[in-house]
């Protein structure tokens, strides 16, 4: 791992977040991955993971409120689909990359810091932890201001984003076929940077495999690959 003083000052990140922390320790906790403390952190309840838990709920509420105000005529089902697309790991990862979050995260010594920080698996969790820190330090308005700034482009999409798994399920139902089934073929890598290979099967179609940084990502990638095949027929 690179020396601690090689890591950018969190104050630079705070500027991108648009918030001056009254308690800088909160942001430090949000940027300290549990791997830095080993298994002991999980047993005691690592601040990072507690902030991640909180940030997930804060993001969910902020997006739900925003959708309610932005789409006054949308049905509950449409808002639910939009909400799912805006709070998933892909959305969190995109914002994390946008603000350069990876270079601020502290990782355990002995790891290949550059490879770990570039690994996309850690970024959604770290992004949620940062949102949790924003909420605790500045309240809901501070968290909401940040979310509105970086999710603006996605929430403005005029149509509900399509999820490959949902699209594949709807296609199968339209063909009077059983629902798609997903199976984990392989699970490798350390806890903080896993790699999953998932296979999706639909009756009458060749099984298709894809990989991702989480089971959900791998499932979506596999569904998208199978859709490319079946929709060309």
All structural domains of the chain, each given as residue ranges with its CATH number in brackets, are 4-155 (1.10.1520.10), 164-230 (3.30.160.20)
Residues contacting 156, CB < 8 A, separation 6+: none
For the chain, give the percent of residues with pLDDT over 70: 84
Which carries the bigger pLDDT value, residue 180 or residue 122? 180
Helix or strand holding residue 21 (H, E) = none
Q: Is pTM, for the whole model, over 0.75?
A: no
Q: What is the rounded CA–CA span in Å between residue 138 and residue 123? A: 22
pLDDT at 119: 53
Mean pLDDT of 162-173: 85
- Token readout for 180 is 């798609």
Catalytic machinery residues = 56, 128
């Amino acid at each position: 791992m690179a020396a601690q003083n090689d890591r950018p000052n969190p104050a630079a990140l705070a500027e991108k977040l648009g918030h001056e922390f009254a308690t800088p320790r909160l942001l430090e906790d949000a940027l300290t991955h549990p791997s830095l403390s080993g298994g002991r952190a999980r047993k005691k309840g690592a601040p990072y993971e507690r902030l991640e838990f909180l940030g997930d709920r804060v993001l969910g509420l902020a997006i739900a409120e925003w959708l309610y105000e932005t789409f006054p005529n949308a049905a509950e089902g449409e808002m639910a689909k939009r909400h799912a697309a805006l709070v998933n790991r892909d959305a969190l990862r995109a914002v994390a990359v946008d603000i350069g979050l990876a270079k601020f995260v502290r990782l355990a010594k002995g790891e290949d810091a550059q490879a770990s920080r570039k690994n996309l698996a850690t970024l959604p969790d770290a992004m949620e932890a940062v949102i949790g820190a924003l909420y605790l330090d500045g309240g809901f308005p501070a968290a909401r201001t940040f979310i509105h700034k970086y999710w603006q482009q996605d929430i403005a999409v005029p149509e509900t984003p399509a999820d490959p798994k949902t699209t594949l399920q709807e296609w199968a139902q339209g063909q009077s076929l059983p629902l798609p089934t997903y199976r984990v073929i392989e699970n490798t890598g350390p806890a903080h940077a896993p790699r999953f290979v998932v296979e999706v099967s639909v009756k009458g179609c060749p099984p298709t495999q894809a990989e991702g940084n989480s089971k959900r990502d791998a499932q979506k990638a596999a569904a998208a690959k199978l859709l490319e095949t079946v929709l060309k027929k």
